[in-house]
Amino acid sequence: MAGPKVFIFCPIDTSGATHRRLEAAGCELILGDEGWISPTGHTDDDLIAILKDCDAVTGTMMRGASFSKRVLASCDKLRIVAKYTIGCDDVDTDAATELGILVTHGPTESNWGGVAEGTIADMLCILKKLRERDRHLKSGGEWRTPELTGTYLGARTEGPRADGYPGLTIGIVGMGRVGTRVADLLRPWKVRILACDPYIPDTHFGEHGATKVDLHTLLRESDVITLHTFLSRETTRMIGEAEFAMMKPGVVFLNASRGPVVVESALIKALNDGKVAAAALDVFEREPLPLDSPLRQMGDKVLLAPHVISNNVGSGLEPAIGWATDSILLALKGELPPDNVFNREVIPAWKERFGGRPIL
């Protein structure tokens, strides 16, 4: 009898160790290629053809095809989609829940903690004009000129400073792992932190030095706004022209979540109009960022990176590959992975379909 089939799209375990673990357990592997992370590589029809006999699927992020409701509904045997990434925006998790399919992800601390650290680095780079100062001095510019003046971040939160400087207000959209770590990293700076997240208990905000507000209040009152949300139906295009109009003139805007959370054309307009003084962007509506994107022509008004903010020595996806492999083996044994289920509301239906029904 053939073992359960596992599709690994765009395999990135160069050591092959997790592949050998799955094969040693009795799994039959189907290995994808680089095309699965290309917007022009593969289609949903290709995915349906491969998944029709699969019991599990795992990998990073897909750009062309996706685990849409149509794809998932075609998979009678599929027990689990085990993502290496923290984000699951290539999976219709609502459809997966409806169909009783488990979705797990990889929120390893080295990754989400790295995103938080990178966010602070981007924020300071813009506020302290690090690029401008370095370039000015290396090019032989005049010593100490006014345009190199940075912005002071901190202020006493318990009352006004003796010199009257109010300090900055930092707005954090999304108080999950990344947003919470950003708040924790900012606390010693004594800044005023506003945060919004309708899915986080009220007590969590105060425990991490933030004041809970609604999104519109955060947009109106913040000097720096940083986004740390999952991409979902609710958050797609969440920040558009109306939201930029609410912001303070000269706001600094950072996005290290997902590109489609922001209407990019509205951001470009806000940058051109001076409403947004500067932006740090690790993610974009289209990736790779098109060569003709206006964002590439904005000089120091934008600090751009190719979706690598979580890529650091000692991090990357390697820890999550093993985590996803563990989840697959448990699911194929009819057991529930304990700590990385993304769509936890599926658990009762999943247990009814697959619980206690091992195929390994």
Indicate if 307 belongs to the active site.
Answer: yes
The H or E element that residue 28 is part of is strand 28-31
Which residues are paired to 170 by β-bridges? 193, 224
The residues, ordered by sequence, that sit 6+ positions from 220 with a Cβ below 8 Å of its Cβ are 246, 247, 248
Q: Is the distance from CB of 244 to CB of 214 less than 8 angstroms?
A: no
d(CA 180, CA 182): 5
Indicate if 258 belongs to the active site.
Answer: yes
Q: CA 214, 220, 223, 226 torsion: positive or negative?
A: positive
- Rama region for 217: left / alpha / beta (φ>0; ψ in -120 to 50; rest): alpha
Name which of 317, 313, 346, 356 is nearest 80 in CA terms: 346
Burial class (CB in 10 A: 0-12, 13-18, 19+), 123: buried
Q: Could you identify the residue written with the tokens 């919470």?
A: 180
Q: Which of 132, 228, 258, 318 is catalytic?
A: 258
Residue 91 identity: V
Indicate if 335 belongs to the active site.
Answer: no
Burial class (CB in 10 A: 0-12, 13-18, 19+), 163: exposed
- Could you give the angle at the alpha carbon of 38 between the alpha carbons of 32 and 44, nearest 5°? 70
Tokens of 341: 């289920």
Q: Which of 133, 287, 335, 353 is catalytic?
A: 287
Strand ranges for 247-330 from DSSP E: 251-255, 276-281, 302-304
- β-strand pairing of 56-59 with 28-31: unpaired
d(CA 348, CA 44): 28
Q: Which of 21, 204, 307, 353 is catalytic?
A: 307
Q: Write out the catalytic residue numbers.
A: 258, 287, 307
